[in-house]
Amino acid sequence: MNDKDTIAAISTPPGFGGIGIIRISGTGSVGILKRVFVPFTKEVADNFQSHRLYYGKVVNPETGAQVDEALGVFMRAPRTYTREDVAEINCHGGPAAVKKTLELALRAGARLAEQGEFTKRAFLNGRIDLTQAEAVMDIISAQTELGRQAAVRALSGGLRDKIEEIRAALAELLALTELSIDFPEEEVDYIPAEGLRERGTRIRESIIKLLSTFEEGRILREGLRLAIVGAPNVGKSSLLNALSKSERAIVAETPGTTRDTVEEMINIGGMPVRVIDTAGIRESGCPVEKEGIRRSKAAMEEADIILHVLDGSRDIQEQDPSFFSGEKKEAKKSRAITIINKIDLPQKFGSKVFLATFLQKGRDVVRISAKTGEGLDILISRIREMILGPVREYMPEALINLRHKTALEEADAALVRFQGGCGRNLSSEFLALELREALGAVGEVVGRTTPEDVLNLIFSRFCIGK
Ligand SMILES: Nc1nc2c(ncn2[C@@H]2O[C@H](COP(=O)(O)OP(=O)(O)OP(=O)(O)O)[C@@H](O)[C@H]2O)c(=O)[nH]1
Ligand SMILES: [Mg+2]
């Protein structure tokens, strides 16, 4: 990949739409625009003013034939997305029109952009840091309002600022540590090992605070995993359909209807939630059903929240709640809500049996009818509280992703070693080494010290044209 090339790509999604945008970036942009786009106002044809939109036509420079009617704009560096000269052509959004316009731009001297190459250039040219580049992708893939809000914060530098604060504190600590290497005899601003250690603690606190946002970030990006489990025929698939307001899962009177896990994305309080319907759990000789049950148990283990469904119109003994006894080791990670379904039918077990079995475990119990929809609003607000806590107005903070987490954990580990070294009065050279490692790790988050192959991996996850 040569960063000096002028690149071009279709920036709008494939398919039919009102407008399709061809984006061109690099020193050749204006030349290419002039060849393939002719403004209707003659005076401007040779003299595009920067950041002005012109009405004109896309033409084939070889034949002079008109290809489409379009708007064209030239934006001179550095006030552009990539900080390079950029041109854009807004033609009609049909696959043929955008493809032909792109083809003309390529023939006029542009190279087809790689995935994420525009954003990569914005990063390499210093307009945005790596957390902002990743935020661009998060905005594009945000599925809910809260996901969008978190991504916009990161895009405007929320995470970068926090990381830069940590970097600055680390750099200062490094300078203080090195001072005693350079001037071992003199008492210039000399800080005893205990003081250095304490400063390390303050930096670690900031790192740990950021690390604690990882789970929230994961949920906003990938969705919270909500597994619906229980005995056959209790109404799990009906509940999935009711929550997603769809007919996604097959519902039938026959126990053992659902064999595979079925997923549907829903939105609870702005959080994306992946609702997973599972096969009813029971002893079964059928190999297909057995595999389904294995998947149910796996889904239960990976879930953030488990909805354990019981059929209130049948005996509880029939529904063998003991399969759920393995929950204890998972209790820390997974939170569960017990649901009594089918409350529109005459109820077999009243609250007494129930309270004895479940409430002593401190579990939430919600009564619903997946059929009539009764109680669903209570269930949803219960789930919402579990995710967001009782806070009414939830505002997502600067949230970290797995890449950030790994780097921050490395930095924290180096700081722990640094502190250990302070405690044992190790030489300043050794202490400085650990701090440099912490600095390097933190720098990776914003892209200062990120290896080339990691950068390529990050940008390759973008779509073409971004
Ligand atoms: N009256 C009533 N019937 C319900 C309710 N929920 C589900 N049913 C019925 O119960 C039967 C089983 O529903 P499903 O949703 O398929 O149950 P399931 O738990 O997914 O069953 P498996 O996939 O076999 O494990 C169907 O006949 C549903 O119509 C409810 O709230 N009230
Ligand atoms: Mg089912």
The domain segmentation of the chain, as residue ranges, is 7-113, 134-213+400-460, 223-388
Provide the token pair at 305.
């929240």
Q: How many CB atoms lie within 10 A of CB 324?
A: 19
Instruction: Look at the block and give the residue holding tokens 């490094």.
Output: 174
Residue 25 has pLDDT above 90, yes or no: yes
For 7-25, give one letter per residue: b (16+ CB within 10 A) or e.
bbbbbbeeeeeeebbbbbb
For residue 442, report the distance from its CA to the centre of ligand 1, in Å. Answer: 52
Q: What pLDDT is stored for residue 193 in this prediction?
A: 81
Provide the token pair at 167.
């970097």
Ligand nearest the Cα atom of residue 313: 1
| Shortest-distance Cα residue to atom 17 of ligand 1 | 235
- Alpha-carbon distance of 407 to 404, in angstroms, equals 5
Ligand nearest the Cα atom of residue 314: 1
Across the chain, mean pLDDT equals: 88
Q: What pLDDT is stored for residue 189 in this prediction?
A: 58
Provide the token pair at 311.
């059929």
| Shortest-distance Cα residue to atom 2 of ligand 1 | 342
CB 207, CB 169: distance < 8 Å = no
Ligand nearest the Cα atom of residue 289: 1
For residue 324, report the distance from its CA to the centre of ligand 1, in Å. Answer: 20
- Alpha-carbon distance of 283 to 256, in angstroms, equals 11
CA-nearest of 119, 102, 124, 211 to 162 is 211
Sheet of 305-311, strand order: 262-268, 271-277, 224-230, 305-311, 335-341, 364-367
Burial (0-12, 13-18, 19+ Cβ within 10 Å), 214? middle
Taking only the tens place, the pLDDT of each residue in 114-138 is 999 999 999 999 999 999 999 999 9
Cα 214 to Cα 28, 323, 379, distances in angstroms: 42, 31, 26
Q: What pLDDT is stored for residue 362 in this prediction?
A: 64
CA-nearest of 237, 236, 226 to 274 is 226
Residue 432 has pLDDT above 70, yes or no: yes
Two domains, one topology: 7-113 and 223-388:
no
Q: Is pLDDT larger for residue 329 or for residue 450?
A: 450
Binding-site residues, ligand 1, Cβ < 6 A: 232-238, 251-253, 255-258, 279-280, 341-342, 344-345, 369-371
pLDDT-based confidence at residue 271 (cuts at 50, 70, 90): confident
Q: What pLDDT is stored for residue 316 in this prediction?
A: 76
**Residue 258 gets which letter from DSSP?**
-
Residue 330 has pLDDT above 50, yes or no: no
Q: Are strands 224-230 and 52-59 parallel, antiparallel or unpaired?
A: unpaired
| Shortest-distance Cα residue to atom 10 of ligand 1 | 235
Q: For ligand 1, what atom is nearest to the CA of residue 241?
A: 15
Instruction: Look at the block and give the residue holding tokens 């209570």.
Output: 378
The predicted model gives 195-222 an average pLDDT of 92
The arrangement of secondary structure in 223-388, i.e. its CATH architecture, is 3-Layer(aba) Sandwich (3.40)
Q: What pLDDT is stored for residue 223 in this prediction?
A: 87
Q: Which of 170-184, 185-199, 380-394 has the highest mean pLDDT?
A: 170-184
| Shortest-distance Cα residue to atom 27 of ligand 1 | 253
- Alpha-carbon distance of 466 to 462, in angstroms, equals 7
For residue 242, report the distance from its CA to the centre of ligand 1, in Å. Answer: 11
pLDDT-based confidence at residue 328 (cuts at 50, 70, 90): very low
7-113 has which CATH code?
Answer: 3.30.1360.120
Taking only the tens place, the pLDDT of each residue in 395-430 is 777 789 999 999 999 999 999 999 999 988 888 889
Residue to mutate (ligand 1; options 229, 233, 276, 293; most atoms within 8 A of CB) = 233
For residue 259, report the distance from its CA to the centre of ligand 1, in Å. Answer: 14
For residue 232, report the distance from its CA to the centre of ligand 1, in Å. Answer: 9
Q: Which of 48-52, 293-297, 392-396 has the highest mean pLDDT?
A: 48-52
Q: What pLDDT is stored for residue 357 in this prediction?
A: 60
State the pTM of this model. 0.79
For residue 338, report the distance from its CA to the centre of ligand 1, in Å. Answer: 16
Local structure of 407: helix, strand or coil = helix
pLDDT-based confidence at residue 269 (cuts at 50, 70, 90): confident
| Shortest-distance Cα residue to atom 9 of ligand 1 | 235
Local structure of 452: helix, strand or coil = helix
Local structure of 387: helix, strand or coil = helix
What's the CATH fold of domain 134-213+400-460? Four Helix Bundle (Hemerythrin (Met), subunit A) (1.20.120)
Residue to mutate (ligand 1; options 251, 319, 369; most atoms within 8 A of CB) = 251
- Alpha-carbon distance of 202 to 251, in angstroms, equals 56
Please state the φ and ψ torsions of residue 305, each to the nearest 5 degrees: -135, 135
DSSP letter for each residue of 394-463: --------HHHHHHHHHHHHHHHHHHHHHHTT--HHHHHHHHHHHHHHHHHHHTSS--HHHHHHHHHTSP
Q: What pLDDT is stored for residue 195 in this prediction?
A: 87
Q: What pLDDT is stored for residue 293 in this prediction?
A: 87
Q: What pLDDT is stored for residue 358 in this prediction?
A: 56
